[in-house]
Structure 1
Amino acid sequence: MKKKIVILGAGESGVGAALLAQQKDYDVFVSDASLINASFKSELTLNSIDFEEGVHTKEKIFSADVIVKSPGIPEKNDLIKELRKEGVEIISEIEFAFWYKGGSKIIGITGSNGKTTTTSLVYHICKEGGLDCAMVGNIGYSFARQVAKEPKRVYVVEISSFQLDDIKTFRPDVAILTNITEDHLDRYEYNFENYIASKFNIIKNQTKNDVFIYNADDEVTVKYLNKFLNSTNPLPISMRKSLPQGAYITNAEMHIKWQKEEMNMSVEDFAVKGKHNQYNTMAAGLSAVVMDIRKEKIRDAVQTFESLEHRMETVATIKGVEFINDSKATNTNSTWFALESMTKPTILILGGVDKGNDYSFLKDLVKEKVKAIVCLGIDNRKIHEAFGNDVGLMVNTTSAKDAVQAAFHFANKGDVVLLSPACASFDLFKNYEDRGKQFKEAVKDL
């Protein structure tokens, strides 16, 4: 008899899991409490996959042998609580895809900040290095869809903490943890340690044949390292000290050491600039050396990589004022890195849905670099409380157009307008991409 699989949530990961499950001869049922996006709905219909929307039919769901849960559904959801109580097996889509990846290798990347840039750079190096690879997970196609539709020899997987929460056997051959800062605490009972444990799940199934690349300069990672470290090979990256194995930068030179391999490269040659990107490049370069990609290919790829949309993206310079779109900065740590790389007087556009942000550690940088703050959100009270005494010019806005016009009004020739909100975007926008696009359109309309 066919095994029954129920997929909760019909976004990219849910539909990907449904396609893979159907291919592997499961009895598949997809259930989404909201309305399903038209393109995903037509895909399910086209493939004759049974689904429901706007409702969860409990009899159908509770009869499942296994449930694949969308990363967007929190643990506090009543249905999930009931399923847990009944002991029904719940896994994430990356776990399900892992079951069917065959002999392929996985490079898995997680972290509070920098994971999208690092993932994109790892993929770019792998592709330039001639590997048969795909970039999946939290970026682009879901892992399950890729395994079902076009299997590869190497999967570069961007993984959020939500996706790691429900893994059982998922094991990357190379794991990268960029850093850990307070983020998504609303999903972890406002307990930072729960979130930390979730991030370290990336190495929980690793063995002595695997590699774990981590940031030795990140205090939280280092503090909890021994608690979670198992039989994997830990490889640190650092800007503070030379390392016998791993990657480090001294005197503007990157050094990568893995077993007997060694590679050097000037940071002047990195395509992506800024201190945070030097960490991302070290992690990506080290993973590439571990994957046996030739040094000259790594060098070429690091020099030709193009930075991502909505991540420190230069939009335009108008009347001597530079506009930068960093809409992907959805937490205070991302905004800290953005501000840290500023060399001109800055008008900062900040705000949105606060996920339990602590703005205090931005204070010194704001005092040093920011001449005005434009709040872009429905509730900006916390921002005013945090910076009201340090920044003389502060204004509230509720649209990208108003925010851009206010910022331009405050700016003089030689200044920078930086959209780096430190918050989620769901109060005024569909997502951070929508926020970034509206910002860019408003700049072009000036």
Structure 2
Amino acid sequence: MQRLVVLGAGESGVGAALLAKQQGWDVFVSDSGIIKEGFQKELDQANIKWEQGVHTLDLIFNADEVVKSPGIPDAVPLIQQLHSRSIPVISEIEFAGRYTQSKTICITGSNGKTTTTMLIHYLLKHSGVNVEMAGNVGTSLARQIADGKTPEWFVIELSSFQLDGMYQFKADIAVLLNITPDHLDRYEYKMQKYINSKFRIVQNQTEEDVFVYCQDDDLIAGELPKRIFKSELLPFTQNDILKQGAYSTLDELIINYNDETMSIFSQDLSLQGRHNLYNSMAAGIVAKVLKIRKKLIRESLSSFKGVAHRLEKVAAVRGIEFINDSKATNVNATWYALECMTKPVIWIAGGVDKGNEYDELMPLVEKKVKSIICLGVDNEKLLKAFGGKVKSIREVQSMDDAVAIAYNQGKKNEVVLLSPACASFDLFDNYIQRGEQFKESVRNL
């Protein structure tokens, strides 16, 4: 019997463990932190051995293969030791992909991947396609396969960390939305390493497959000539007219594919803003490739409800609008958020800096932001970047304080925008908890 060790007992790790047990592997789960009670019960019920708060090396180094949580960096000594022993270390997606015949639509990018994944899933479901959503959003792929799900298509959101552990896995349709500096702390602060990670989405693709990408992204455009692609390339753009792919005019989104054209008025799209136009283009191309009727594509693109914690309107209090963009964990995501704003902004930012450079935000901040509230343990970089650029810049250590100060500074027809540009781990468990606390604080005003 082959032995699989799973490092990290979150949703993806437990999913991988359950699937492996079902497939006849000898499974052991090890988490250096504390495993959530619900996951502990699941492992016990499946008769899977586990440990928490420690990694017992003797029980790990006898593995035939290791599935590691996306949250564990390759640079940690344990992973390096596994590599030195030639024990394969893979991602849950790589493992799960072996046990399904379903086709895959895989979405990655520095920003917009959750929205686009959910939009594609919604579009296909609305059109009667047998489809499930997995990966970095919702239920893990491994768990769904273990639960016996056999959809025609899995729509899978993939982070660069998940892509790093994928070797044989193949996307039938790969979508690359954009590449901007993010998680550089995991890539030795070398941008090319991060770019290479994102382009793993097209590895193993054949002539039968499709690669959908943003032509306007300089890093993607610069990388294309360096690589050989077997798949069909379908770009989308806001700066050009394309015979194959998607583009926009002043008031329409147009998709051309295999001598068929469809269009939808931009004002009819449920997701507004320049960045969301890209997301709608990507989803529209995927739908056309799958031969979904124009009427259904239009209906879906105009009726989809957005993603929680992504430019989510929370409430208006005394004429001040509160917007939750907690999912903006990097500079580029915050750039998009600020770019969408049409009223003066009180900006709540900060958290764990991931090697951010704030220069690209400066023109938008000078034009649109009236004051900044830094919500984080270490705000030095934000203070240095924006001190003197806005009327007021304050530091706080709690969400209640951040919201209260923003409310006191705000006037009618102004916006309080939580768009941190940073990870959340200094004061919160994750961006979801940060966003929920923001909403709670606003409701308590």
Q: TM-score range by the shorter chain?
A: over 0.9
Distance 1:293 1:98 in 2: 25
Residue 165 of structure 1 pairs with residue 164 of structure 2: yes
Letter in 1 for 2:187: Y
Aligned to 2:434: 435
Per-residue deviation, 1:23: 1.3
Question: Which whole-Å CA distance do the structure 2 matches of 1:230 and 1:216 have between them?
Answer: 15
Q: Which amino acid aligns with 1:359?
A: Y
Matches within 5 A, 1:193-204: 193-204=192-203
In structure 1, the residue matched to 2:280 is 281
- 1:272-351 aligned at under 5 Å gives the runs 272-351=271-350
Q: Which residue of 1 aligns with 2:133?
A: 135
Instruction: Please state how far the C-alpha of 1:161 moved relative to its aligned partner.
Output: 0.2
Q: What RMSD over aligned residues (CA atoms) do the two structures have, in Å?
A: 0.9
Aligned to 2:118: 120
Aligned to 2:395: 396
Output the CA distance in 2 between the equivalents of 1:340 and 1:188: 28
Question: In the aligned structure 2, how far is the partner of 1:18 from the partner of 1:296?
Answer: 42
Q: Secondary structure at the match of 2:292?
A: coil
Alpha-carbon offset, residue 318 of structure 1: 0.8
Deviation at 1:53, TM superposition (A): 1.5
Q: Tell me which residue corresponds to 2:107.
A: 109
C-alpha separation in 1, matches of 2:140 and 2:294? 30
SS of 1:71's partner is coil
Partners of 1:256 and 1:264 within 8 A in 2: yes
Q: Say whether the 8 Å CA contact 1:203–1:229 is kept in structure 2.
A: no
Give the deviation of 1:246 after TM superposition: 0.5
Q: Letter of the aligned partner of 1:208 in structure 2? A: E
Q: Would you identify which runs of 4 or more consecutive aligned residues in structure 1 move more than 6 Å?
A: none
Match of 2:14 in 1: 15
Matched-pair contact (CA < 8 Å) for 1:115–1:178? yes
Conserved? CA contact 1:347–1:407, under 8 Å: yes
Partners in 2 of 1:64 and 1:261 — Cα distance? Answer: 52
Aligned residues between the structures = 444
Shift of 1:45: 0.3
Does the 8 A contact of 1:352 with 1:426 survive in 2? yes
**Residues 302-337 of structure 1: CA deviation (Å, up to 9, x unaligned):** 111001111001111111111100000000100000
Residue in 2 that maps onto 1:192:
191
Matched-pair identity in %: 52
Q: Partner letter of residue 205 of structure 2?
A: Q
Inter-partner Cα distance in structure 2 for 1:30 and 1:414: 52
Range with bigger deviation, 242-251 or 54-63: 54-63
AA at the equivalent of 1:412: K
Question: Where do residues 141-180 of structure 1 align in structure 2 (5 Å cutoff)?
Answer: 141-149=139-147, 150-180=149-179
Partners of 2:31 and 2:234 lie apart in 1 by 41
Q: Alpha-carbon deviations, 1:159-208, whole Å to 9, x = none?
A: 00000001111111110011000000111111111111000000011111
Q: Which moved more, 1:27-36 or 1:105-114?
A: 27-36
2-structure distance, mates of 1:160, 1:98:
16
- Which residue number corresponds to residue 99 of structure 2? 100
Aligned mates of 1:282, 1:414 — CA distance in 2:
31
Return 67-76 or 330-339, whichever deviates more: 67-76
- 1:22-70 deviation per Cα after TM superposition (whole angstroms, max 9, x unaligned): 1111111111121211110100001111212122222221111111111
**Corresponding residue SS for 1:322:** strand
Question: CA–CA distance in 2 between the matches of 1:70 and 1:54?
Answer: 15
Provide the secondary structure at the position in 2 that maps to 1:20.
helix
| TM-score, L = length of structure 2 | 0.98
Range 15-24 or range 105-114, more displaced: 15-24
Which residue in 1 is equivalent to 2:23? 24
The answer as to whether partners of 1:255 and 1:264 remain within 8 angstroms in 2 is: yes
Amino acid at match of 2:135: G
In structure 2, what is the Cα distance between the partners aligned to 1:25 and 1:293?
39
On the 8 A contact 1:188/1:194 being kept in 2, the answer is yes
Letter in 2 for 1:252: D
Structure 2: which 5+ residue stretches go unaligned?
none
Map 1:362-377 → 2, pairs under 5 A = 362-377=361-376
Distance 1:324 1:425 in 2: 17
> Aligned partners of 1:297 and 1:229: how far apart in 2?
34
Letter matched to residue 313 of structure 1: E
Amino acid of the structure 1 residue aligned with 2:206:
T
1:85 is aligned to 2:58:
no
Provide the rounded CA distance (Å) in 2 between the counterparts of 1:423 and 1:128.
35
> 1:353 — aligned with what?
352
Cα distance in 1, alignment partners of residues 429 and 165 from structure 2: 26
Shift of 1:262: 2.0
Residue 226 of structure 1: CA displacement? 2.2
Q: The residue matched to 2:286 in structure 1 has which SS? A: helix
Deviations 1:350-407 (A, max 9, x none): 1111001000110000000011111111111111111112112111111111101111
